[in-house]
Amino acid sequence: MEVANRYITIKTQVDGEPKESDFELKTSALSLSLDSGSNDMIVKNLYVSIDPYQINRMKSHSSSQKAIGFAAAITPGEAIDAYGVAKVVASANPEFEKDDLVVGLITWGDYSLLKGGNYMLRKFDPMGFPLSYQVGILGFSGLTAYGGFFKVCKPKKGEKVFVSAASGSVGNLVGQYAKLFGCYVVGCAGSKEKVALLKEKLGFDDAFNYKEESDLKSALKRYFPDGIDIYFDNVGAEMLEAAVANMNTFGRVAVCGVISEYTDAAKRAAPDMLDVVYKRITIQGFLAADHMNVFSDFISTTTDHLRTGKLYAIEDVSNGLESFPSAFIGLFRGHNTGKKIVKVADE
């Protein structure tokens, strides 16, 4: 049997802000019969995670492309690989059977053909939660927030925490974990609706719309008159400079990502290094993959909090394969609230 497999690809490298015309939908025939012994597998894609780092994979050059396998350059014309949930439709791998639910590296397409058995995919138990949680709160966004906050920021109760892109997938969870842990938390986001969500639903102590502030250093001084102990950085550039200027002695900055620099090569954070020296500030970049050793703690803590209603999963789901380009482009325009996901198909 053969199916028509639609998938999204980039036409050419994308340098700068992504736009709809950078992408195209292609279709190719996919045979569902596999050679026994090949270990190949075909899965039907259900939920796919939409992530800012993919823009760095689409560029002509980015230092991230050689750093780690999953950040490798995307080849124009080929299906874009991404983290997601899928269902096995054909398997020549004895470890997987038809109808198994799997999570791992799939594609921006209807189906993913996974060759040779060396793919990054595992079976999972939904534990009574929606399947989409596997690509967000119980997936890499959650692990990024959990590992980044607890292992990189090393919080103490009562410390003052600032989170940027705080209504986004990682940011909202950092703020929620920090509140549950007993910190004072302020977030910034790009609209009044997002600010209201942080304060009224997610329990942040305060929040502000950074787009309404002409001087970020004095804005942070207003929200943190006694200084910032921890800055969880999702955006980089001038927000990082402003945060460093307001850090307390022995403050910690976890550099999770620098989204404002991804689409604008002219933007580079230049924090005052004398502040870093004299206030003995630690600025540490990290990857979620560094924290696989806390994965089981992360899952048990997060599922407990979800079951007791102490933690909210905020999702922003677009429907259908055609929505991949707009869902992705929207990340860089602040269109999403919470985890951005494309639902490709029903189970």
Binding site for ligand NAP (CB under 6 A): 51-53, 141, 144, 165, 167-171, 189-191, 194, 234-235, 256-260, 286-288, 331-332, 334, 336, 340
- Supply the minimum distance, in Å, between the C-beta of residue 137 and ligand NAP: 11
Tokens for 326, please give them.
Answer: 């707009």
CA 225 to chain centre: 31
- Supply the minimum distance, in Å, between the C-beta of residue 185 and ligand NAP: 15
The 10 Å CB-count burial string (b at 16+, else e) for 316-334 is bbbeebebbbebbbbbbeb
- Supply the minimum distance, in Å, between the C-beta of residue 41 and ligand NAP: 26
- Supply the minimum distance, in Å, between the C-beta of residue 151 and ligand NAP: 12
Question: Which residues have CB under 8 Å from 193's CB, separation 6+?
Answer: 337
CB of 88 or CB of 341, closer to ligand NAP: 341
- Supply the minimum distance, in Å, between the C-beta of residue 275 and ligand NAP: 21
CB of 191 or CB of 323, closer to ligand NAP: 191
Nearest to 103 by CA among 159, 43, 163, 17: 43
For the four alpha carbons of 72, 75, 78 and 80, in that order, the dihedral sign comes to positive
CB of 44 or CB of 340, closer to ligand NAP: 340
CB of 267 or CB of 279, closer to ligand NAP: 267
CA distance 167 to 188: 8
CB of 30 or CB of 174, closer to ligand NAP: 174
CB of 42 or CB of 327, closer to ligand NAP: 327
CB of 45 or CB of 234, closer to ligand NAP: 234
- Supply the minimum distance, in Å, between the C-beta of residue 345 and ligand NAP: 22
CA distance 150 to 198: 20
- Supply the minimum distance, in Å, between the C-beta of residue 212 and ligand NAP: 12
CB of 25 or CB of 286, closer to ligand NAP: 286
Nearest to 224 by CA among 202, 204, 247, 240: 247
For the four alpha carbons of 240, 137, 341 and 85, in that order, the dihedral sign comes to positive
CB of 121 or CB of 170, closer to ligand NAP: 170
Residue type, 260: S
Cα separations in angstroms, 84 against 40, 162, 285: 18, 30, 25
Number of C-beta neighbours around residue 228 at 10 A:
26
- Supply the minimum distance, in Å, between the C-beta of residue 336 and ligand NAP: 5
- Supply the minimum distance, in Å, between the C-beta of residue 168 and ligand NAP: 2
Nearest to 133 by CA among 319, 314, 301, 325: 314
Instruction: Return left, alpha or beta for 125; rule: phi > 0 is left, psi -120 to 50 is alpha, else beta.
Output: beta
Cα separations in angstroms, 268 against 15, 132, 239: 16, 34, 11
- Supply the minimum distance, in Å, between the C-beta of residue 191 and ligand NAP: 6
CB of 30 or CB of 216, closer to ligand NAP: 216
Q: Which residue has the tokens 């630690």?
A: 282
Nearest to 146 by CA among 297, 319, 343: 297
- For 237, phi then psi, to 5°, come to 45, -135
